[in-house]
Structure 1
Amino acid sequence: MIDYAESCTQMTEVRTSVDINASIEEVFAAFTDWAAQGEWMVGTTVEVTKGDGRSVGSELSAFTGMHLGFKIGFLDTMTITAWEAPYRVDVLHTGRVVKGTGVMEVVALAGGQSRFLWSEDLDLPLGALGRLGWPLVRPAFIAGVKHSLKQLGRYIEQQIEQKG
């Protein structure tokens, strides 16, 4: 797993990856099954709000948080800006809290394995306060993404086993 997070004046980069015992096609199909992202992405539900969810211009809405009879969390809206099946999807985050770009990419490894790479270039919310708070939030944020990617790997491998 490769992990990288750097904070600069405006944008913050987050990079991580996971190796999965699956083909690039299987990994791509799983991570672009937006409705099923809640199976592996910590505390998140995703839905397609415009288009087919499989082409440039489609829009997605991801709620991350808890449902306690009411919702506590934030909404991450995004537009698909690149769709290169079965290798890569780029998004533009357009919400109030999450702004910036994201790339989800799959590369083939030896032995039928794949590496799923997750990267974000985020404009931190709350201006200077957000930049000051990021060093405190960053470890938990990265841990959550890493956990989610490990869950994605397990989810895909279980799906393959069940089909087996």
Structure 2
Amino acid sequence: MTHSRIRVSVDAAAEPEQVFSVLTDWPRHDEWMVLTRARVTAGDGRSAGSRLAAFTGMGLLGFLDTMEIIEWDPPTTVAVRHTGRLVRGTGIFRVLPREEGGSTIVWEEELDLPFGPAGRLGWPLVRPANEALFRLSLRRLAELSGR
């Protein structure tokens, strides 16, 4: 299995507590995460061991990304283990305070690439689009958190 890492970050005017609150309000993910609707499927969604499900796509075309929260440290860190058939690996959001106020939101994913050799060959083509969508999502999160 081949792993790939993505890391993007965006500055936000809002303080870490506010950003983390919006970030971890799972039913509101569709307000900022591009093409994604999320929900809590087990637990409270605010502790390690809670399970989440996020549908990524448009209409019926897409995939279900199931996850388990593996680290919960508000207002700085939430990490998940992707447990679905298509997306596997870990994802981490960090909300770091900036000295001048506000915060920096960091999104890191370490993914097991699907589809064997075809996935490895296709990843260099898909990665830039993924990074751009992640960055757009974080900009939307930063804006939403500042309201």
TM-score (norm 1): 0.87
Identity percentage over the alignment? Answer: 51
Report the aligned-residue RMSD: 0.9
Which of these residues, 140, 144, 154, is aligned with residue 129 of structure 2? 140
1:111 to partner: Cα distance: 2.7
**2:40 match: secondary structure:** strand
Q: Which residue of 1 aligns with 2:68?
A: 79
Distance (Å, rounded) in 2 between the aligned partners of 1:108 and 1:154: 16
1:136 to partner: Cα distance: 1.0
1:152-163 equivalent positions in 2, closer than 5 A? 152-157=141-146, 159=147
1:154 to partner: Cα distance: 1.1
1:10 to partner: Cα distance: 1.3
**1:97 match: secondary structure:** coil
Higher relative contact order (CA 8 A, sep 6+): 2
1:155 to partner: Cα distance: 1.0
Show CA shifts across 1:18-42 (max 9, x none): 1000111001101001100100111
Q: Which residue of 2 aligns with 1:28?
A: 20
Runs (4+) of structure 1 exceeding 2 A deviation are none
Give structure 1 stretches of 5+ with no counterpart.
Answer: 1-8, 160-164
1:8-47 equivalent positions in 2, closer than 5 A? 10-47=2-39
1:106 aligns with 2:95: yes
Show CA shifts across 1:89-144 (max 9, x none): 11000001100001101110023210010000000110111010001111111111
TM-score (norm 2): 0.97
Give the count of matched residue pairs.
Answer: 147
Q: Which residue of 1 aligns with 2:54?
A: 62
Amino acid at match of 1:30: V
